[in-house]
Amino acid sequence: MTTSYVVLRSDTVAVVVTDDDAMPRIVHWGPPVPDDGAYDALLDVAIPQGSLDVAVPMGILPEHARGWSAYGGISVHRGDGTSWAPLLSRTASTHHGGSFAWHGTDDRARISVAVELALDEHGVLLVRTSLTNDGGATLHVAGVVPVLPLPHRAVEVLTLTGRWAREDVETRTVLEVGALALENRRGRTSHEVQPTLMAGTRAFAQESGEVWAAHLAWSGDHAARAEVLPDGRRLLSVSELLLPGELRLAPGDTYAAPEVHAAYSAHGLNGISDAFHAHVRARPGHPRTPRPVLLNTWEAVYFNHDLAELTRLADAAAEVGVERFVLDDGWFRGRGDDTSSLGDWYVDTAKYPDGLDPLVDHVTGLGMQFGLWVEPEMVNPDSDLFRAHPDWVLGLDGVEQVMARHQVVLDLARPEVSAYLFERLDALLTAHDIAYLKWDMNRDLVAAGGRDGAAGVHAQTLALYDLLDRLRRAHPAVEIESCASGGGRVDLGIAARTDRFWTSDCNDALERQSIQRGFSYLVPPELMGAHIGGEWAHTTARRQWFPFRAATAFFGHLGLEWNLLHASAEDRAAVAETIARHKALRHLLHHGRTVRVDHPDGSALVHGVVAHDRGEALFSYAQLTAPDRTAPAPMRLVGLDPDRAYRVERLLLPGANWAPGKHEPSWYAEGLEASGALLAQLGVPVGIHVPEQATLVHVRAL
């Protein structure tokens, strides 16, 4: 059998894949390589004693029938136990520009498989796989798990784990033997295990080292794995995790596995976010208008909705420059706390005797957009909806529901459930001038059985996508935020249907510095909800001064989570000035290149946004804890044009001019001018910082 090779190329990445009768193999994924026809000789590896007589191929979906004994591939069977080890043969393949498609069948197992690779201009590789049941009996699917090869030099793995209110915790593992496996069975993307893995050369960093990353665009259960095989080969895998019996294909049915989005960088983690951010921004539905500064009422009033107070709060919001006013939980019928009424999506006439119109009209009359909180996927047992339709929930017959926040989960895969939710949401959006929905989801899915008693997470996820797609077709101008107790559903599957993420329920600026850094690897800042909270952080009980809170939120999609009616006149003026400065820099913050700087002192974080023409940049130096040394290391400003001259000045947010040291660098008052090369290599000196203090630096080309 003659092996042909297909090469997919972008400016920064090459992918070489086999095209022959067998399942395709990716033989190179990394930096550009010449197409010199030497692949056969370079891939003819030694075979040791005590092993199989052939080198077992690592196909994109590796096959047991070819000797594969590690993780990945197609895991299926029929009711009699057969068809469990398919062996695919090519029926067709095509190659057009940056895409390659391969189709194969196994007449014995009676299945067919499609594999598609597409490399976009930004260097992101999409891996799409699907499986069709060609037989006359049901095919039980336990997994369709594509694998991506890693070179031997990719020895270190970065994962993003965490918990509620402390998402995106970075953890590094040097992988020398065996596997690093992370699994999520929470029914949503989860706070604990993000579906993103990054592997790289030893000690890869923000600015240096080679990195290979894979992300699963899926909002349900998933598995992520990095593995070293006994022969030294390495692989990376992210895939849907299917529960027992969850996916059964009737004759003729097809399972399309969630897309894998993969990126390679020769320039550290910054190169990974370069690729992913450009990829996300290229979506047809990506927000193109300036991201409106918003005020969310949750931490301002919680469930205590009073029309007069909310009207005054809207006035205060408009005065400081807010552009979108979002009414959070508590507006619908009977909702006085979190124990009741979810599912009853009708305006509470006890709180709003004339409906929402008076508040909506007041908000829009002030020139602001009106937004509304909903949690459509959930229902309280103490609700009219549940009392009328107790059978509408996900669960197991004869098993008491596991509660979370006094709520259970509606079975969206039931047509009558999705029809009810669409009717209610459509009615609200049709009746009111609502520009924005904060779509929340506040609990995990456990024992989530569907109507037929089988596990229902897969069907629930697809039904959620379908509901969102239908709603967006009906109301294309309405923007939707993905919130799941904060950052519990952040992935590119839900991103295709939403316009913003609520990054975390934690507004504590100290925690947010690291949360937002982890978030930034995959998602650009214009999709990152970042709010200035009140002085007292509701999730940690820390108190932080305004300049640090403002500097932390400044780089994202800015908002307020604060009752301005209880703020001092000085604080309101500080908010207004901060918002004005943010608006003046939105063109940079929400379109530029995110860069993270390798700083020698781990007690501080340095990051910035650089315009794509490198004519302007904004950087942040954030002191998180007490510094390692008595004087801080210089702040390097990376990503600028080394041959251009720049003017560097502090961007002073209100209250940020307090100095704890005896002397400040002269440029704090006078600014400085230097080349991009000097700013990147020598950096600029920074003043003494106490914990939870930040300095913003504005850079413009001369």
Q: Which tens digit of pLDDT belongs to each residue from 71-86?
A: 999 999 999 999 999 9
User: What's the pLDDT tens digit per position in 214-223?
Assistant: 999 999 999 9
Beta-carbon contacts of 634 under 8 Å, excluding residues fewer than 6 positions away, are 682, 683, 684, 685, 686
| Residue 2 in this model has a pLDDT that exceeds 80 | no
Domains and CATH numbers, the chain: 4-278 (2.70.98.60), 294-380+422-443+463-586 (3.20.20.70), 595-701 (2.60.40.1180)
Mean pLDDT over 640-665 rounds to: 95
| pLDDT value at 143 more than 70 | yes
At residue 144, does pLDDT exceed 70? yes
Token pair recorded at residue 649: 């000045």
Per-residue pLDDT, averaged over 136-162, amounts to: 98
**Other residues' Cβ atoms within 10 Å of the Cβ of residue 371:** 25
Residues 158-185 have a mean pLDDT of 97
pLDDT at 35: 78
> How do residues 552-590 score in pLDDT, each as one tens digit?
999 999 999 999 999 999 999 999 999 999 999 999 999
Looking at residue 302, what is its pLDDT? 97
Q: What does pTM read for this prediction?
A: 0.98
Give yes or no for residue 396 having a pLDDT over 80. Answer: yes
Is the distance from CB of 105 to CB of 89 less than 8 angstroms?
Answer: yes
pLDDT confidence tier of residue 37, bands split at 50, 70 and 90: confident
* Percent of all residues in the chain with a pLDDT value above 90, rounded to a whole number: 97
Given a cut of 90, is residue 658 above it in pLDDT?
no
Of the residues 348, 505, 508, 571, only one is catalytic, namely 505
* pLDDT for residue 42: 82
**Which residues pair with residue 537 across a beta bridge?**
none
- How large is the average pLDDT for residues 217-246? 97
Place of tokens 């098993």: 399
Lowest model confidence (mean pLDDT) among 46-50, 124-128, 543-547: 46-50
DSSP assignment of 494-540: HHTT-SEEE--S---HHHHHHHHHHHTTTS-GGGEEEEEE-SB-TTT
Q: Which of 106, 440, 491, 508 is catalytic?
A: 440
Instruction: Tell me the CA distances in angstroms from 9 to 32, 97, 117, 118, 125, one per residue in order.
Output: 7, 8, 12, 10, 10
> Rounded to an integer, what distance in angstroms lies between the CA atom of residue 602 and that of residue 404?
37
Does 323 have pLDDT greater than 70? Answer: yes
What's the distance, CA 700 to chain centroid?
A: 31
Q: What's the pLDDT score for residue 1?
A: 58
CB 544 within 8 A of CB 537: yes
- The answer to whether residues 345 and 388 touch, using CB atoms and an 8 Å cutoff, is no
Mean pLDDT, range 505-521, rounded to an integer: 98
Spatial distance between the Cα atoms of 642 and 676, rounded to a whole number of angstroms: 4
Question: How does the average pLDDT of the chain come out, rounded?
Answer: 97
E strands, 222-333, in order: 222-228, 234-240, 247-249, 254-256, 260-265, 294-296, 324-327
Q: Name which of 137, 135, 117, 134 is nearest 126 in CA terms.
A: 117
User: Is 260 in a helix, a strand, or coil?
Assistant: strand
473: which residues sit within 8 A by CB, 6+ positions away? none
Q: Please name the residues in contact with 266: beta carbons below 8 A apart, sequence gap of 6 or more.
A: 12, 31, 210
Q: From residue 643, how far is each of 86, 124, 421, 615 by CA, in Å?
A: 58, 30, 57, 12
Q: How confident is the model at residue 43 (pLDDT cuts 50, 70, 90)?
A: confident
Of 147-151, 214-218, 399-403, the least confident: 399-403
Tell me if residue 452 is catalytic: no
pLDDT tens for 187-206 read 999 999 999 999 999 999 99
What pLDDT does residue 41 have?
84
pLDDT at 234 (0 to 100): 98
Of 251, 239, 151, the closest CA to residue 202 belongs to 151
8-31 mean pLDDT: 96
Residue 212 near residue 156, CB atoms below 8 Å: no
**From CA 448, how far away is CA 458, in angstroms rounded?**
10
pLDDT at 399: 94
| pLDDT (average), residues 141-157 | 98
Which of 139-148, 187-196, 337-346, 626-635 shows the lowest per-residue confidence on average (mean pLDDT)?
Answer: 626-635
Active site residue 469: no
For residue 628, the model assigns a pLDDT of 87
pLDDT at 44: 86
Instruction: Look at residue 171 and give its three-state secondary structure.
Output: strand
Q: What is the mean pLDDT of residues 618-645?
A: 96
